[in-house]
Amino acid sequence: MTDDTSGEHAATIRRVLVLAHMGRAEARLAAEQTVQQLHEAGLRPVLTEEDRRALADATNGQSMPPVDLLPADCELKDLELVMVLGGDGSILRAAELIRDVDVPLLGVNLGHVGFLAESERAGLGETVEAVVGGRYTVEDRMALDVAVWQEGKKVLHTWALNEASIEKGDREKMLEVVTEIDRRPISSFGCDGVILATPTGSTAYAFSAGGPVVWPEVEALLMVPLSAHALFSRPMVVAPTSMMAVEVLTRTDARGVLWCDGRRTVDLPPGSRIEVTRSPRPVSLARMHLTPFSERLVRKFELPTVGWRGPRGQVVDSGPPTTALPIVQPTYNQPTVEGQRIPVGREITPDLYDDADRQGGPATGGHSADDSAWDNSPATSSRPSSSAAGGGDGL
């Protein structure tokens, strides 16, 4: 569909990109429902050309709502939001797509744990309604800036939302490394690898490796050794301003490999140096619920809480576990609460809880099928996403 509008009217068009794993029937049905609901509400659904063809084939020739095509009819910068229908791997792929623009991601979980997702498949209709009504805030998540040096030359400059993992390249050999914080050596040892993670990634691969769970609003970086053959191999939490580095030692011929979010990779011959710092560009996630991270942690990992009685002298509310943000007049890419702007990354305060309690909101739940890889382009890899290790994200 070609947009024939211009001027002020064109600037007010609300475009929402819908991304899904079109190779799965459940994802196609969810995408079809989302596109239809967005169109009926007056928003402009956007699809990639490949996804539009897949959706048209799945509808067996039935008429589809008009959609904009990316990039023929609009650009990434023209989007208000990206709705990702899938698991954490799908959200990581979407984050890669919009890396260079300031557009938030909103995930609807069709996978297993779905730590990065904001809602579940059963609540898809309510999720679209919240998008239409502007009932969401935008939260910034720290990302990593990753540089690889070999023979004094920078051979790779990339990024990661969850983690940069340095792993051994040969199954039969340990990887010999020396770790470094703020240009000071910490320890050298043989290992299976070292994970350098964000708080968001603390519930992904780093979680499976025994690293700490870090609340997403905490500004910190994590270094987690993998099966280190050393007396000191504890995970470390360092300042967000620190530089973490790992060097592959030359005393053996064991090679390594770097994976960023399980998506971007490069070989690490002996002598390679990996430097990781906080990226100046975060990843924006759309949030519809005021659920505390502690509750998300319990719900996503199905942690037992039998015997909990709550703080003394307070009545424990047995109502729904999540509350939706109140209805507001949407402002594009800058939602508001009760008519007030919410700066990106603003802390949710008790007054917002009170407002949301008065408004109420849908509770969502349920899990569905696995989120298998759906991008076989040469720029990516078939390695399972980092989200598969422990849930993908501290949401």
Which residues, including other chains, have CB under 8 Å from residue 385's CB and lie 6 or more apart?
88, 89, 92, 93, 261, 262, 263, 373, 392
One-letter identity of residue 372: S
Sign for the CA dihedral angle at 362, 367, 368, 370 comes to: positive
User: String of b and e for 53-89 (b: at least 16 CB within 10 Å)?
Assistant: ebbeebeeeeebeebbbbeebbebebbbbbbbbbbbb
Binding residues for NAD(+): 88-89, 93, 162-163, 173, 192, 203-208
d(CA 265, CA 166): 10
**Overall residue count recorded for the chain in this entry:** 395
Instruction: Write out the H or E segment, with its range, that includes residue 69.
Output: strand 68-70
Catalytic positions, written as ranges: 88
Q: Are 192 and 168 in contact (CB under 8 A)?
A: yes
Q: Tokens in use for 106? A: 């909103």
| Of 65, 68, 55, 52, the residue nearest 15 (C-alpha) | 68
Which residues, including other chains, have CB under 8 Å from residue 117's CB and lie 6 or more apart?
84, 87, 88, 91, 107, 108, 109, 111, 395
d(CA 258, CA 386): 12
Which residue blocks in the chain are alpha helix, DSSP H? 7-11, 25-40, 49-58, 88-97, 124-133, 205-208, 293-301, 350-359, 387-390
d(CA 7, CA 381): 42
| Of 130, 136, 135, the residue nearest 34 (C-alpha) | 130
One-letter identity of residue 359: Q
Phi, psi at residue 258, to the nearest 5°? Answer: -105, 130
Phi, psi at residue 147, to the nearest 5°? Answer: -125, 140
One-letter identity of residue 111: G
